[in-house]
Structure 1
Amino acid sequence: MPGIHVVGDLLPPPSLGLAHTSFAEGQVVAETLAGLRPTPVDYTAVPRVTYSSPQTATVGLTEAQARALGHEPAVRAMPLTALAKGMVHGRGGMVKVVAEAGGGRVLGVHLVGPQVSELIAEAQLIVGWDAEPADVARHVHPHPTLSEAVGEVFLTLAGRRLHQR
């Protein structure tokens, strides 16, 4: 209806009904009411987190979704236990990246493990800004951190493998 604006749980899919998504939808409504031209929420670039043990965090497309949309995905994954920080935690987990084949843009990043909710913001920027693996591979990730796994997967996708076989 004209003049009626809703956010959050009142919206049907593709809205995710998450607090951070509702906040972004509210910003769009406020900017619309102010006469601005806001960018709509890109629901594929909204991070989704499950606060369980282990945590899961995901942003963008899965491999199956990418294929269904006509992409030819390149997929790489790395176990967190391959890193010093992962060994110290002693708990499993992984980082998985879905990108367009041939070094094309990153379509999705998926994480499982301890505190991966703290890593998803970087992944959101990578997906939201249509970065390519080579763009991310040149950035230094601190050692020893779980974020190193993010960096290493992108190094592998960019053809600059470090620790992975």
Structure 2
Amino acid sequence: MSPPLATVGLTEREARAAGHRIKVAMEKVADIVAMPRAYIVEETRGAMKFVLDADTDEILGAALLSVDAQELINTVALAMRHHVTATELRTAIYTHPSSTEAMNEVLGTIVRT
């Protein structure tokens, strides 16, 4: 059994094809220090990836393969719908211990532009 996969919005390839200048934030769940829930339930497999608009900082899409991904994706979709920036989502305060805390760390890590 593997952790759930949840996606919303554009993939990196789709965003580039649509002409967006993008940034990508991605981290393996096992490396996310700010995600204690993954360690509590002993499910550290997977990764989180966010595709961000480099000009507006809005989230264009996300792919979450992690514990609680089916719940986390709702927060990401709501942020996208209401034009909440990646910075705003990254600096939010989340319940502890929860999987949502991972957004604080992952969105602070731009791995590609």
Same fold? TM cut 0.5: yes
Q: Is the 8 A contact 1:78 1:149 kept in 2?
A: no
Name the CA distance, whole Å, in 2 between partners of 1:127 and 1:99. 10
Q: 1:141 to 1:156 in 2, by over 3 A?
A: farther
Higher strand share: 2
Q: Matched residue of 1:87: which SS?
A: helix
Partner of 1:10: none
- Runs of 4+ in structure 1 displaced over 3 angstroms? none
Q: CA RMSD in A?
A: 1.9
Gaps of 5+ in 2: none
Q: Is the 8 A contact 1:137 1:155 kept in 2?
A: yes
Percent identity between matched residues is: 31
Q: Does 1:59 align with 2:8?
A: yes
**One of 38, 45, 59 as aligned partner of 1:106:** 59
Gaps of 5+ in 1: 1-51, 158-165
**One of 83, 88, 92 as aligned partner of 2:40:** 88
Q: Is the 8 A contact 1:74 1:101 kept in 2?
A: yes
Report how far residue 112 of structure 1 moved. Answer: 0.4
Matches within 5 A, 1:149-160: 149-156=102-109
Q: Is the radius of gyration larger for structure 1 or structure 2?
A: 1
Name the CA distance, whole Å, in 2 between partners of 1:69 and 1:84. 36
